Amino acid sequence: MSVKFEKNVLGRLVPNLVNGKIQIPFQGVGKHLPKGNKYGAPIVSCADFPADGNKIVPNLQEALLKAGLRNGAVISTHHHFRNGDLLAVQIFDIAHSLGFKDLVWFPSASFECHQPLINYLEDGTIHHIEGSMNGSLGRFASEGKMKGMGVLRSHGGRHQAIQDGEIVIDIAVIAAPTADAFGNATGDRGSAACGLLGFALADSQYATKVIVATDNIVPFPCVPWQIQGNNVDFVVVLDQIGIPEKIVSGTTEITKSPDRLLLAEMTAQFCDEAGIIHDGFSFQAGAGGTALSIGVYFAEMLRKRGMNARFARGGSNKYLVKMLEEGLLDYILDGQTFDLEGVRSMRENKGHVNTSPFTSYNYHGKGNFASMLDVVVLGATEVDLNFNANVVTHSDGILLHGVGGWQNCLFAKCTILPIPLFRDRIPVIRDEVTTICGPGELIDVIVTERGIAINPMRTDLLDKLKYSNLPIKTMQQLKEEVDAICGVPEKPMFTNNPIAVVKWVDGTVIDTVWEVDNTEK
């Protein structure tokens, strides 16, 4: 079957086949209704597992071989160690040394530390990456050098794809800061503590074989068990599974940039005037200096008014932990910890709850947490006049970021993107974004340093802000202002070779990422 392209409802050209698998074009938000039953992993028997619960094998190579490593196998890893991960490269080093080919790497996210995998993409050890390709890996793919096509999914979309059997994981390798010989594992303690292991939860439940690798083995039972040994085949004890100082990398301090502080302040004030900040409200701001600053503004408002927030969704950080401990916040529902205070709090505080893409983001569930949030604050690389937004490619067309939880979070009651009007003199507001990752109907507000645009669909917000002193403008006005400063930007040039697709939260294809044909310019 040869690949054909058709336009989806957003007018984006998408392929009907990706790596040989049939695709459904994006149908509109909530329009694609799934059929069939969830995937079930192969049934196993305790008769095939050690009665004493000791599943330790001598090393990772033996575990991979016992798990049935073969050409073409799908191998998954999680990204709770972020840029401090030491495992993914090791796995493919072993696969390469054993001569396996055409493997699929299915990470929950990738980081710059995974750059060595480019060698294995080049020599055929890895066929393609089914997951985010950041930095070097994204650039490699954008240059058309990856054998297969990339498949970019949100965190929730990854759960959906696993659950619905769109991808079957042959071997999940779960790096665990603490584990017992049975395979019970937790992320909240150990020298490589990363807080939680929620991104690996679906992998543990649905993969055919599951390997837990740890550098801190404890006697049964490992409590808490974020990953259940009942789903684990083999346990490997390594010297080190992650570099602690890189595990909780990323921005961990509020911004000192006056531009960003302005965006943060305007966003917080917008929320206040829109009536979003009320006793018992909920929010998610994520990492990054601007987002952290917004949280601090929220905290100040609550403190002054004697109110508190019912819950915040993490990425947790020391600012959220402080709110929790001060009583300004009842619960942190945390998907990943961004600093060591987050790890400590998750270990110590019953109000700091570990969640997973299943609870927070899975669109093929009976609801999820994301749509219950009063407000979510997110970033974007580009936004168009219809509020469609991009988070994976830059305006030069190069793939540089993953989707993360971004698509899933758009379902909040109010989605706000505080973004600069331009970056390096390249406008962020465009006639058309390079890659649509989120449909405009779900994006409510754009906050820029020169004005705030409210989605015309949100007449309620337009009404509430009618007499505001905030600079409420239309998207068209903002675009004219930025074009006046930067000039109308050139569009990036692409070949007609698709290098990746972006999935929507329901498994349909929302857009295609194309090979850039000016990479060397």
Instruction: Provide the minimum distance between the beta carbon of 454 and its own copies in the complex, in angstroms, as a whole number.
Output: 20
Instruction: Provide the minimum distance between the beta carbon of 515 and its own copies in the complex, in angstroms, as a whole number.
Output: 33
Does residue 34 touch its own copies according to CB under 8 A? yes
Cβ-based nearer residue to its own copies, 157 or 288: 157
Does residue 252 touch its own copies according to CB under 8 A? no
Does residue 35 touch its own copies according to CB under 8 A? yes
Length of the chain: 521
Q: Kindly tell me which residue out of 106, 297, 411, 514 binds its own copies, with binding defined by CB under 8 A.
A: 411
- What residues between 263 and 292 interact with its own copies by CB under 8 A? 280
Cβ-based nearer residue to its own copies, 80 or 364: 364
Q: Which span (112-120, 334-342, 368-376, 509-517) binds its own copies, by CB under 8 A?
A: 368-376
Q: Kindly tell me which residue out of 226, 317, 336, 359 binds its own copies, with binding defined by CB under 8 A.
A: 359
Partners of 76 in beta bridges = 106, 172
Q: Report the Cα 259 to chain-centroid distance in Å.
A: 26
Please give the structure tokens belonging to residue 19.
């790596």
Q: Kindly tell me which residue out of 111, 182, 199, 319 binds its own copies, with binding defined by CB under 8 A.
A: 182
One-letter amino acid identity for 95?
A
- Eight-class DSSP state of 221: P
Cβ-based nearer residue to its own copies, 333 or 380: 333
Cβ-based nearer residue to its own copies, 19 or 371: 371
Instruction: Provide the minimum distance between the beta carbon of 55 and its own copies in the complex, in angstroms, as a whole number.
Output: 7
Please give the structure tokens belonging to residue 371.
């749509």
Does residue 43 touch its own copies according to CB under 8 A? yes
d(CA 244, CA 43): 37
Q: Kindly tell me which residue out of 85, 130, 164, 444 binds its own copies, with binding defined by CB under 8 A.
A: 164
Please give the structure tokens belonging to residue 105.
């790497």
Q: Considering all CA atoms of the chain, what is the largest pairwise distance in Å, rounded to the nearest integer?
A: 72
One-letter amino acid identity for 98?
L
Nearest 10 degrees: CA dihedral of 161, 164, 167, 171? 100
One-letter amino acid identity for 48?
D
Instruction: Provide the minimum distance between the beta carbon of 332 and its own copies in the complex, in angstroms, as a whole number.
Output: 10
Q: Give the x-and-dash track for 317-356 against its own copies (CB under 8 A).
A: --------------x-x----------------xx-x---
- Eight-class DSSP state of 217: B
Does residue 367 touch its own copies according to CB under 8 A? yes
* Helix, strand or coil, per DSSP, at residue 4: coil
Looking up tokens 């600069």 gives 420
Return the number of other C-beta atoms located less than 10 Å from residue 277's C-beta.
21
Instruction: Provide the minimum distance between the beta carbon of 66 and its own copies in the complex, in angstroms, as a whole number.
Output: 13
- Eight-class DSSP state of 256: -
Does residue 471 touch its own copies according to CB under 8 A? no
| 473, HSE (Cβ side, Cα atoms, 13 Å) | 18
Alpha-carbon distances of 462 from 37, 282, 429, rounded to whole Å = 42, 21, 20
| 67, HSE (Cβ side, Cα atoms, 13 Å) | 33
CA end-to-end distance (rounded Å), the chain: 35
Cβ-based nearer residue to its own copies, 336 or 435: 336
Cβ-based nearer residue to its own copies, 280 or 487: 280
Does residue 22 touch its own copies according to CB under 8 A? no
Instruction: Provide the minimum distance between the beta carbon of 203 and its own copies in the complex, in angstroms, as a whole number.
Output: 14
Cβ-based nearer residue to its own copies, 105 or 182: 182
Q: Which span (40-48, 246-254, 449-457, 460-468) binds its own copies, by CB under 8 A?
A: 40-48
Helix residue spans in 214-253 (DSSP H): 244-247
| 238, HSE (Cβ side, Cα atoms, 13 Å) | 26
- What residues between 204 and 243 interact with its own copies by CB under 8 A? 210, 219-221, 223-224, 228-233
Does residue 504 touch its own copies according to CB under 8 A? no
Cβ-based nearer residue to its own copies, 46 or 484: 46
94 backbone dihedrals φ, ψ, rounded to 5°: -65, -50
* Helix, strand or coil, per DSSP, at residue 260: helix
CA angle 224, 230, 233 (to 5 degrees): 115
Cβ-based nearer residue to its own copies, 72 or 221: 221
Instruction: Provide the minimum distance between the beta carbon of 22 and its own copies in the complex, in angstroms, as a whole number.
Output: 16
Helix orientation angle between 289-305 and 258-273, rounded to the nearest 10 degrees: 40
Q: Kindly tell me which residue out of 12, 55, 96, 155 binds its own copies, with binding defined by CB under 8 A.
A: 55
- Eight-class DSSP state of 361: T
Task: Catalog residues that contact its own copies under the rule CB under 8 A.
Answer: 30-53, 55, 163-165, 182-183, 210, 219-221, 223-224, 228-233, 280, 310-311, 331, 333, 350-351, 353, 358-359, 362-369, 371-372, 411, 413, 506
